[in-house]
Chain A
Amino acid sequence: MPAFSMFRPPRPFGIWTSLVLLCGGGLFLTGSAGAQTLEISASSVQGPGWQAQHLQASLQTDSSYTAHLQVQAGVVAMGKQRVWQKMQGHCKLQTQYGWSCSGLQLTVSGSPWGELQSDGRLQVLRSDGAGSLQLHLQGATFGHTTLRIHSGATGHWQLQARGDLALKGWVPALQMLPAKWQAGGAMHWQLTSDGKSWSRINQLHFVARLYKGQFSSPDGLQAAQNVAATLTGDGQWLRHWQGQLQLRWTQGGVLWSPWYWAAPVRPVVVHSDWQQTAEQWRLNRGRIDWPELGTARFTVSQSLHGGSMRWDLHDVDVGLEPLFAHWIKPLLPASSFAAQALLAGRLRFSVAGVPALHALRWDLQGGSFSSPPMSLQGVSSHGAWDEHSPLESAVFHWQRATLYHIPLGPVALRLALHPGGFALYHPLDIHLLGGVLHFQQLSGHWRGAHSGFAMRGDLKGLSMRSLTRIMHWPPFTGTIQATIPELTYHAGTIHTSGELSAGIFGGEVRVRDLQVQNFLGVMPLLRANVSVQGLQLKPLTEAFHFGYISGVLDGNLRHLYLLNWSPEAFQARFATVKTPGVPQKISYQAVQNITKLGGGAGIGGFFQGMFLRLFNTFSYRHLGMGVDLANGIAELSGVGTENGGFVILQGQGLPRVDIVGYNHRVSWDELLARLKTAMETGPQVHTGE
């Protein structure tokens, strides 16, 4: 319990008998012709928690009621904190109408604030025991302080103090910041207090105004500049201390890497009741009003007998955009997908911790999320999570969404939340492009080395026509059916443990060893092995306007690498397989395009070309091609070799058309350009098959 102790002057000069402990000291009394000198010295005086060395007082009397008092002290320490190295003072002591120490002059050296000078007056009236002290203390580093204390005969006292101080000296003096941190700025403060007896403070009120406040850690990553703030507070003693505090932050910026906050136009106001008992201190009924962000209420408590700090932030009502921009985004890797997001909406939530977060409850309305290539609109969500509750639930809903420009239908997710993650309550369907993406399992884990997401499901009926139109690909027809056995997302990378399969153009595409590094991030890198079986060339070539080809194609794409979704390397082999009931025919247009693709200039020769034009289609025995892409160069091969070239098309019957390529190495960009040209040229020939 805070208390002031003050001696009552029983009689003149009687004070010197009340020293607590004198070690190695002395007392001398000398005098002559009406003047007497009293000297008291002590090499060391100590009490609980403090110690003073080399004390010396000298009292030289001029008359019965007047004396000249000189005091001197060596090192004084409170605990481990040295108060000063040396103190000297003197005053004129008069005792005619009580005690009066006028012309008080004090000099202090070696204090945490450097050199200090003080002048003032101390007066204690004899008639009713009332007294007053007026003291003015100043120092270059210390600033200046004016102190007035008045005490009545009943012991009731009042204190008024005010001053200006420089944080540059005070902060290191009081060890308010770690060593080597720097602080600056000025503070004007006022304190009023009173008590019914010298042993007790009954109430106090203070105001501290900070101007141009700043601090900086040695590495500059925790810092503040030009901060202006006002802290006001009061307290009363009613069996325990309690009162109110208010902080108004009006100017400046604060950096606590990775966070940075700048004072908004209207001040940030934090208001709270406070209380301190023998058991704990507590901030209660706290309220934060942060313009341009929102409002919140809070409580904080800390046991005085150990234990962790408990806190909770409740009734938080904030805009999602500023919350994300200033509080969440700084925690995300700068190049991550989420860090690029733009969010909007209104979020209400409550959180609690001891001191780590252990409970969360939220309600989001009117939300939106946008971070290429994903966007969500009409988002709402509510739910709860508790560290100590094995099962909580959450609902997540969006009305519209896009992923890589693919529109996704509305979704209502119901999730089971457990302390370390979440899982779907029921299987989930997302409608897209006329089909359904079915999530049989979707779960997330945010603890441990394998934090991330996992899903299993399938895709049914996705329209290729819609997909190719959205992706600006050559138009395909048909639908995609795919099975997704196990897909995990961890640390920015997608893995599949099994084999993805999709039905397309009457055949099946299987994707194995799929891995996408930096998925949704900068420069994603996809690796996979792809195999194709039973692909019907007729619908495929119809889609591409490549020219009519019928037959069944098998092949594989090994060691496929896509960097930023563009091919970087692969080894491709595709060839037709003879299938009963499926004719192997190729149109003149397709022959022309394949010839160009393989490195030729089309069917050469006027008569040769004119003759072949007489036929709509030609029969073939084998059709196939190999492409090995590396370093931007494609190495071409075919279904066989002939005269140093590679056979792309081996015809049969009459007329027989063979296509043999001799350009084994081509630029990949050139190959793509040629392919695009081939697919865009002229109407294709339909055979009616």
Chain B
Amino acid sequence: MNKQNWLKTRSTQALLLLGMLVGLSACVTVNIYFPAAAAKRLADQVVGEVYKAAASGAVSPSAAANHVSPDHSAPALTAPVVSPAPSAFERLTPAHVAGYLLATGFSVVSTPAEAAADLNASSPGVQAARAQLEAIATRMRPYFESGAVGWTANGLVAIHDAAAVSLQARAGLSGLVSSNNSALQNLYQQIANANGHPDWEGQIQQTFAQTWISKAPAGYWYQNASGQWQKK
């Protein structure tokens, strides 16, 4: 087979393959499932900042990056005009196309496609909720450290052993726990709302629940899945 025939045959095969894959990929339904990985990254970031604020006693309302994954480093005003990055279309090569189509085709026959969504945590509502939580975190820290309060398995705070602090310190404990839980619930709801999925609140809360515990400093108390108190 000469080179020309070989190319012709291979082109025909490639076209057939592409046609088949295009046909398969035309049937793809992209389901926006809860982006667990992005939620985990967001929880890691937010929880880390709240613990940091609690440790430093400082409140930084405008702290922080707003998206979890994309890095929005702001260009300086005097910087040259932002040159547009090569578009996704321009970066396409036959290998990319084939790879994409193969991956798409494979995903069609194996599992439903999952949108690689990132969680948006930049809405003013989320920022306000975070700032309020960080403000309360400073006052909550002594109670966590003494064991008076601990994390519940569902991402809220509960009184573990009020007697661990003085009578005077106990006086405002219930109110503080209540305020902290309101701020937490608000944070979970605001994140869900910011991503257009108020129904994700429960899953976001569960993701945060694990992170509050996993990132908690040693000595903090928490409830395990069966509701038993344990000390980190």
Q: Could you list which residues of chain A lie within 8 angstroms of chain B, going by C-beta atoms?
A: 216, 219-221, 223-225, 253-255, 257-260, 262, 330, 332-335, 517-518, 522-523, 525, 527, 561, 563-564, 566, 568-569, 596, 599, 601, 630-633, 644-645, 662-671, 674
Q: Say yes or no: A522-B132 contact (C-beta < 8 A), given A221-B162, A255-B171, A258-B174.
A: yes
User: Contact: A666 with B75, CB < 8 Å?
Assistant: yes
Closest to A326 in B: B171
The 4 closest A-B pairs by CB, nearest first: A667-B74, A220-B162, A662-B81, A561-B124
Q: Which of B12-38 contact A (CB under 8 A)?
A: none
Question: What are 12 A-B contacts with C-beta separation under 8 Å?
Answer: A216-B163, A220-B170, A221-B174, A260-B167, A262-B168, A335-B132, A563-B61, A663-B79, A663-B81, A665-B75, A667-B75, A667-B77
Question: Which A residues lie within 8 Å of B124 (CB)?
Answer: 525, 527, 561, 563, 568-569
Q: Does any Cβ of A come within 8 Å of B82's Cβ?
A: yes
Instruction: Give the distance in Å from the alpha carbon of A670 to the alpha carbon of B61 in the complex.
Output: 18
Question: Which B residues lie within 8 Å of A216 (CB)?
Answer: 163
Most buried by A among B131, B162, B163: B162
User: Contact: A257 with B135, CB < 8 Å?
Assistant: no
Q: Which of B62, B128, B170 contacts A518 (CB 8 A)?
A: B128
Instruction: Give the distance in Å from the alpha carbon of A517 to the alpha carbon of B125 in the complex.
Output: 10
User: Contact: A257 with B171, CB < 8 Å?
Assistant: yes
Q: Does any Cβ of A come within 8 Å of B111's Cβ?
A: no
Q: Which of A258, A525, A630 contacts B172 (CB 8 A)?
A: A258
Contact bitstring B114-148, A, C-beta under 8 A = 1, else 0: 00000000111101100110011001000000000
Q: Shortest distance in angstroms between A166's beta carbon and chain B's nearest beta carbon?
A: 21
Known: A221-B159, A255-B170, A522-B135. 5 other contacts (CB 8 A): A221-B170, A335-B136, A522-B59, A523-B135, A563-B128
Closest to B64 in A: A632
Question: Which A residues lie within 8 Å of B132 (CB)?
Answer: 335, 518, 522-523
Q: Shortest distance in angstroms between B193's beta carbon and chain A's nearest beta carbon?
A: 13
User: Contact: A663 with B174, CB < 8 Å?
Assistant: no
Q: Say yes or no: A667-B76 contact (C-beta < 8 A), given A220-B162, A330-B171, A645-B81.
A: yes
User: Contact: A334 with B171, CB < 8 Å?
Assistant: no
Closest to A668 in B: B74
Question: Which A residues lie within 8 Å of B171 (CB)?
Answer: 255, 257-260, 330
Instruction: Give the distance in Å from the alpha carbon of A262 to the alpha carbon of B171 in the complex.
Output: 12
Instruction: Give the distance in Å from the alpha carbon of A644 to the alpha carbon of B132 in the complex.
Output: 42
Q: Does any Cβ of A come within 8 Å of B52's Cβ?
A: no
Q: Does any Cβ of A come within 8 Å of B86's Cβ?
A: no
Instruction: Give the distance in Å from the alpha carbon of A666 to the alpha carbon of B178 in the complex.
Output: 40
Instruction: Give the distance in Å from the alpha carbon of A569 to the alpha carbon of B120 in the complex.
Output: 14
Q: Shortest distance in angstroms between B83's beta carbon and chain A's nearest beta carbon?
A: 10
Q: Say yes or no: A260-B168 contact (C-beta < 8 A), given A663-B75, A670-B76.
A: yes
Q: Does any Cβ of A come within 8 Å of B94's Cβ?
A: no
User: Contact: B72 with A523, CB < 8 Å?
Assistant: no
Instruction: Give the distance in Å from the alpha carbon of A430 to the alpha carbon of B225 in the complex.
Output: 58
Q: Shortest distance in angstroms between B136's beta carbon and chain A's nearest beta carbon?
A: 6
User: Contact: B179 with A257, CB < 8 Å?
Assistant: no
Q: Does any Cβ of A come within 8 Å of B210's Cβ?
A: no
User: Contact: A563 with B76, CB < 8 Å?
Assistant: no
User: Contact: B128 with A525, CB < 8 Å?
Assistant: yes
Closest to A601 in B: B78
Question: Which B residues lie within 8 Å of A257 (CB)?
Answer: 170-171, 173-174
Q: Say yes or no: A566-B82 contact (C-beta < 8 A), given A260-B168, A518-B132, A674-B77.
A: no
Question: Which B residues lie within 8 Å of A220 (CB)?
Answer: 159, 161-163, 170
Instruction: Give the distance in Å from the alpha carbon of A359 to the alpha carbon of B136 in the complex.
Output: 36
Q: Does any Cβ of A come within 8 Å of B67's Cβ?
A: yes
Most buried by A among B66, B127, B136: B127
Q: Shortest distance in angstroms between B195's beta carbon and chain A's nearest beta carbon?
A: 14
Q: Shortest distance in angstroms between B189's beta carbon and chain A's nearest beta carbon?
A: 13
User: Contact: A258 with B175, CB < 8 Å?
Assistant: yes
Q: Shortest distance in angstroms between B210's beta carbon and chain A's nearest beta carbon?
A: 26
Closest to A226 in B: B167
Question: Which A residues lie within 8 Å of B216 (CB)?
Answer: none
Q: Say yes or no: A335-B135 contact (C-beta < 8 A), given A260-B167, A563-B62.
A: yes
Q: Does any Cβ of A come within 8 Å of B176's Cβ?
A: yes
Question: Which A residues lie within 8 Å of B76 (CB)?
Answer: 666-667, 670
Instruction: Give the distance in Å from the alpha carbon of A385 to the alpha carbon of B51 in the complex.
Output: 47
Closest to A674 in B: B77
Q: Say yes or no: A670-B74 contact (C-beta < 8 A), given A220-B163, A525-B124, A563-B61.
A: yes
Contact bitstring B43-85, A, C-beta under 8 A = 1, else 0: 0000000000000000101100011000010111111111000
Question: Which A residues lie within 8 Å of B173 (CB)?
Answer: 221, 257
Question: Which A residues lie within 8 Å of B127 (CB)?
Answer: 563, 568
Question: Which A residues lie within 8 Å of B170 (CB)?
Answer: 220-221, 223, 255, 257, 260
